[in-house]
């Protein structure tokens, strides 16, 4: 195997390890840190079913963002759901026998790249055009958008520009999964695409991308509004009663 | 140190998002607490020598104790959803009053000390060391936040700046920088039993005076009982209700409600305060210590129900935290909780808001009113932030909005809502909550009130509104002071129970208690 292939193989194993271990550690930290007080933002559901419904609206529809800013909502939603469709479409590289539903969403996943790139473009434009958003943007906010946009554009090019050799790609990906590394495709666009994806995986657990697991642990959203009915006591707070 | 001069915003009746102007409020700081005040709460008397390491250590401790803080430090993506939601930003144009920027004051230090990216690439992710300048910024801007949670409604991750402000204040206190106003009041509450530092005899005098006043006005001997063992209801109300205007009018309202319904009730001299500034400074221990007086009073007096008067943050502490901290509530399975809960009557919500009590009595027809007595008033209702976004009334979500409004509509004929987007969960803070109700922060208070004043102006101009109904002692004090800055008369401000007080019909001398009558009526 070429040095380039070895580099990509090592890169993806390392990136996967960092992503999985890094995010697992964060989730463990969130699970272990107590929420000593009831602080749901009210009006809030009074039951856990209601909380699940609220959380689903938050994660699927971005309900709070919708209340806040229609532009940020539309760009943010286009980006995230474009990316979801694109990711689902990518399952065909990870599963030897492509299930029918993955095959069925291929055309949607294909054009979802435009949703994703368009959404990212809108979000980035806001960082320049709205003075308040410009003020709070850090270099890493811009680089993150550049990285995601780069991933979207190079990915789009492999479909809508120079077609990449997806057979070699699938062999490479399945090789990684089966722990029997195979050569990486040599096409420069796919190489850039893959390198950027690995970078994203590596920075995920040390960046603001932690908003993805974080939202599920947000006490203002995931607590039921029932403090009068149930006594809620954290371990460290209970010690004050001794 | 006199507060600086400032220009009062001109009202247009419309809320506009201003272009940002950096640093406009950087110099605005409330007075710092002295040694005596700090030490009474268990904090160092002045800035400690190793403040940097102490502050970072405290931040680490809080990150481990509060999931909210840990998640909120990590999750923000700088999307900007909150940037135009804070009344202090809208009123001052200072970008550090945008919720995300206020959070960032702490997040930059969190990144530097607690994250990989911030340790090795500080510039890239906007991480900063905790310098004296940063600490000064904390003191300025964590005391220009009223912890109203409006930003948390709009954040896609539910990040609540109030949690970060509270942590910031707790860290500042732990290195010796406290705010005079909040900490002095909290000290008085812990030492004497109420925020105003009123000793027992002063309360007795006031209550006797009120009994005479009400007797003169109505001819009915309405009682204001204090420390009566075995009373059904223990009323916990902000101490401002005892002698501030217009607060006292609501206290008279509560007394008339209990009298008319024939419910025995009492105030407590050792727990003559619903307010709990421990919340404002983010100190669990101090909040709990202040609340313990209420538990003690409830156990001493043997009451069956605990009812809370008109006070926003107090209702948050009572509704959301009392069960956790002092066992006032339901569903306890431990000894500490069960001791008090076995005594309480669980046919009623514990604790109950006075609006819940009055609403129930009005709905069941136990108390009667003559609505026309409020006909000279055109009323609008200001949702208090802590009631709206940090608590509930009644059985269903949103009861905190419907119950006070229904009470108003049951006792008065003329009611007008303010513009959507300024009420209910989107309500704007009065500008004086969260420990800012002090003259040394008058500029913050006046400018922070602007969004609410714009909405108020609109209904005054278009709908002839002349009464701003409130259910919060801080809102009442703030608006009484701030309305004149905007050209309105302070007499436009009053409590919901002031309206109840005006309209309620008191059973005359010699008649039986109304509760019994209503039960007979219900049998027919």
**What is chain A's length?**
242
Q: What average pLDDT does the segment B245-250 reach? A: 96
- The answer, for B61 touching chain A at a CB cutoff of 8 Å, is no
Q: Identify whether A33 is part of a domain.
A: yes
Q: Identify whether A8 is part of a domain.
A: yes
pLDDT at B517: 44
pLDDT at B224: 97
- The answer, for A33 touching chain B at a CB cutoff of 8 Å, is yes
In chain B, the N- to C-terminal Cα span, in Å, equals: 69
Residue B423's region, left for phi above 0, alpha for psi from -120 to 50, else beta, is beta
Can you give the residue range of the structural domain that contains A124?
3-230
Best to test chain A binding among B20, B62, B76, B77 (most A CBs inside 10 Å): B77
Examine the pLDDT at B326 and tell me if it is beyond 50.
yes
User: What is the tens place of the pLDDT at every residue in A16-42?
Assistant: 999 999 999 999 999 999 999 999 999
Question: Which residue from B72, B331, B388 is facing A231, i.e. has the nearest CB?
Answer: B331
**What is chain B's length?**
524
Task: Please give the C-alpha separations between residue B500 and each of A109, B117, B311, B366, in angstroms, as whole numbers.
Answer: 61, 58, 16, 14
pLDDT at B200: 83
Q: Place B195 in a pLDDT band, splitting at 50, 70 and 90.
A: confident
Q: What average pLDDT does the segment B63-90 reach? A: 98
Instruction: Name the DSSP letter for residue B307.
Output: E
Q: Chain A: give the shortest CA distance to residue B53, in Å.
A: 22
pLDDT at B2: 58
Examine the pLDDT at B3 and tell me if it is beyond 90.
no
Of chain B residues 146-175, which have a CB less than 8 A from chain A? 149, 152-160, 163
Q: Identify whether A138 is part of a domain.
A: yes
Question: Which residue from B75, B98, B330 is facing A132, i.e. has the nearest CB?
Answer: B98
Strands B265-266 and B233-236: parallel
Examine the pLDDT at B515 and tell me if it is beyond 70.
no
The structure's pTM equals: 0.95
Of chain B residues 281-310, which have a CB less than 8 A from chain A? 284-285, 288
Task: Please give the C-alpha separations between residue B313 and each of B17, B69, B151, B162, B194, in angstroms, as whole numbers.
Answer: 27, 20, 17, 12, 15
- The answer, for B45 touching chain A at a CB cutoff of 8 Å, is no
How many whole angstroms separate alpha carbon B237 and alpha carbon B245? 15
The DSSP annotation for B107-124 comes to HHHHHHHH-HHHHH-HHH
Fold of B35-185: Fumarate Reductase Iron-sulfur Protein; Chain B, domain 2 (1.10.1060)
Closest CA to B141 of B108, B175, B106: B106
Residue B505: exposed, middle, or buried by beta-carbon count in 10 A (0-12, 13-18, 19+)? middle
Q: Place B243 in a pLDDT band, splitting at 50, 70 and 90.
A: confident
HEC profile of A105-131: CHHHHHHHHHHHHHHHHHHHHHHHHCH
Q: Identify whether A239 is part of a domain.
A: no
pLDDT at B217: 94
Task: Please give the C-alpha separations between residue B407 and each of B369, B397, B519, in angstroms, as whole numbers.
Answer: 11, 17, 21
Output the average pLDDT for chain B.
95
Examine the pLDDT at B511 and tell me if it is beyond 80.
no
A240/B79 Cβ within 8 A: no
Strands B504-505 and B265-266: unpaired
User: What is the tens place of the pLDDT at every residue in B96-142?
Assistant: 999 999 999 999 999 999 999 999 999 999 999 999 999 999 999 99
User: What is the tens place of the pLDDT at every residue in B20-61?
Assistant: 999 999 989 999 999 999 999 999 999 999 999 999 999 999
Domain positions in chain B:
35-185, 193-416+465-505
- Which portions of chain A are predicted below pLDDT 70? none
pLDDT above 70 covers what percent of chain B? 96
- The answer, for A215 touching chain B at a CB cutoff of 8 Å, is yes
pLDDT at B509: 52
Q: Torsion angle of alpha carbons B482, B398, A226, B470, nearest 10°?
A: 20
Examine the pLDDT at B512 and tell me if it is beyond 50.
no
pLDDT above 90 covers what percent of chain A? 97
Examine the pLDDT at B185 and tell me if it is beyond 70.
yes
Quote the number of domains for chain A: 1
- The answer, for B327 touching chain A at a CB cutoff of 8 Å, is yes
ipTM of model: 0.96
How many whole angstroms separate alpha carbon B467 and alpha carbon B470? 9
Residue B406: exposed, middle, or buried by beta-carbon count in 10 A (0-12, 13-18, 19+)? middle
- The answer, for A227 touching chain B at a CB cutoff of 8 Å, is yes
Examine the pLDDT at B508 and tell me if it is beyond 80.
no
Q: What is the CATH number of the domain that holds A25?
A: 1.20.950.20
């Amino acid at each position: 195997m070429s040095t380039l292939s070895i580099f990509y193989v090592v890169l993806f194993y390392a990136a996967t390890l960092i992503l999985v271990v890094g995010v697992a550690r964060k989730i463990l930290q969130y699970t272990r840190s107590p929420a000593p007080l009831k602080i749901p933002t009210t009006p809030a559901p009074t039951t856990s079913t209601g909380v699940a419904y609220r959380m689903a609206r938050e994660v699927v529809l971005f309900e709070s963002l919708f209340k806040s800013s229609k532009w940020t909502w539309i760009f943010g939603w286009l980006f995230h759901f474009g990316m979801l469709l694109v990711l689902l479409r990518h399952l065909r590289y990870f599963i030897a026998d492509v299930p029918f539903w993955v095959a069925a969403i291929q055309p949607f996943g294909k054009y979802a790249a435009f949703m994703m790139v368009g959404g990212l473009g809108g979000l980035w434009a806001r960082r320049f055009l709205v003075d308040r958003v410009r003020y709070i943007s850090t270099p890493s906010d811009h680089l993150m958008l550049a990285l995601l946009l780069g991933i979207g554009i190079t990915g789009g090019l492999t479909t809508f520009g120079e077609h990449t050799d997806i057979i070699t790609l699938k062999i490479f990906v399945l090789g990684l999964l089966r722990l029997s590394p195979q050569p990486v495709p040599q096409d420069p666009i796919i190489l850039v695409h893959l390198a950027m994806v690995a970078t994203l995986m590596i920075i995920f657990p040390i960046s603001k991308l932690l908003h993805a697991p974080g939202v599920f642990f947000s006490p203002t959203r995931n607590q039921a509004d029932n403090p009068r009915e149930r006594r809620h006591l954290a371990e460290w707070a209970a010690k004050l009663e001794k | 140190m006199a507060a600086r001069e400032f220009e009062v915003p001109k009202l247009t009746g419309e809320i506009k998002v201003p272009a940002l102007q950096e640093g406009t409020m950087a110099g605005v700081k409330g007075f710092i607490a002295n040694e005596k005040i700090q030490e009474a709460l268990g904090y160092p008397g002045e800035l400690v020598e190793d403040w940097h390491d102490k502050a970072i250590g405290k931040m680490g401790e809080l990150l481990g104790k509060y999931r909210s803080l840990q998640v909120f430090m990590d999750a923000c993506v700088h999307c900007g959803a909150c940037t135009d939601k804070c009344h202090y930003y809208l009123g001052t144009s200072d970008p550090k009053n945008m919720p995300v920027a206020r959070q960032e004051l702490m997040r930059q230090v969190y990144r530097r000390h607690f994250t990989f990216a911030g340790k090795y690439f500080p510039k890239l992710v906007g991480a900063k060391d905790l310098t004296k300048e940063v600490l000064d910024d904390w003191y300025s801007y964590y005391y220009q936040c009223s912890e109203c949670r409006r930003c948390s409604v709009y954040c896609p991750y539910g990040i609540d700046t109030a949690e970060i402000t509270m942590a910031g204040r707790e860290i500042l206190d732990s290195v010796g920088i406290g705010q005079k106003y909040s900490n002095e009041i909290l000290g008085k509450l812990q030492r004497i039993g109420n925020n105003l530092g009123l000793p027992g005899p002063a309360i007795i005098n006031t209550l006797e005076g009120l009994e005479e006043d009400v007797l003169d006005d109505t001819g009915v001997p309405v009682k204001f009982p204090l420390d009566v063992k075995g009373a059904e209801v223990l009323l916990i109300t902000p101490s401002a209700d005892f002698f501030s205007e217009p607060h006292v009018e609501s206290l008279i309202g509560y007394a008339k409600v209990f009298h008319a319904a024939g419910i025995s009730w009492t105030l407590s001299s050792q727990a003559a305060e619903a307010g709990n500034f421990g919340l404002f400074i983010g100190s669990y221990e101090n909040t709990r210590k202040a609340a313990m007086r209420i538990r003690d009073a409830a156990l001493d007096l043997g009451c069956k129900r605990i009812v809370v008067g008109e006070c926003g943050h107090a209702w948050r502490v009572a509704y959301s935290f009392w069960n956790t901290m002092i066992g006032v509530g339901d569903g306890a399975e431990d000894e500490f909780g069960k001791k008090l809960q076995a005594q309480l009557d669980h046919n009623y919500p514990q604790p109950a808001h006075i609006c819940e009590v009055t609403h129930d009595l009005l709905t069941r027809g136990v108390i009667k009113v003559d609505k026309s007595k409020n006909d000279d008033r055109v009323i609008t209702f200001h949702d208090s932030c802590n009631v709206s976004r940090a608590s509930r009334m009644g059985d269903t979500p949103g009861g905190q909005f419907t119950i006070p409004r229904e009470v108003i509509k049951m006792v008065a004929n003329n009611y007008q809502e303010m513009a959507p987007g300024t009420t209910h969960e989107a309500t704007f803070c009065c500008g004086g909550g969260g420990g800012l109700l002090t003259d040394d922060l008058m500029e913050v208070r006046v400018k922070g009130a602007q969004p609410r004043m714009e909405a108020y102006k609109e209904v005054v101009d278009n709908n002839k509104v002349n009464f701003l109904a409130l259910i919060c002692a801080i809102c009442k004090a703030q608006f009484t002071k701030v309305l004149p800055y905007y050209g309105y008369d302070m007499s436009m401000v009053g409590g919901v129970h002031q309206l109840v007080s005006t309209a309620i019909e008191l059973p005359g001398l010699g008649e039986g208690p109304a509760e019994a009558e209503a039960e007979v009526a219900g049998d027919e």
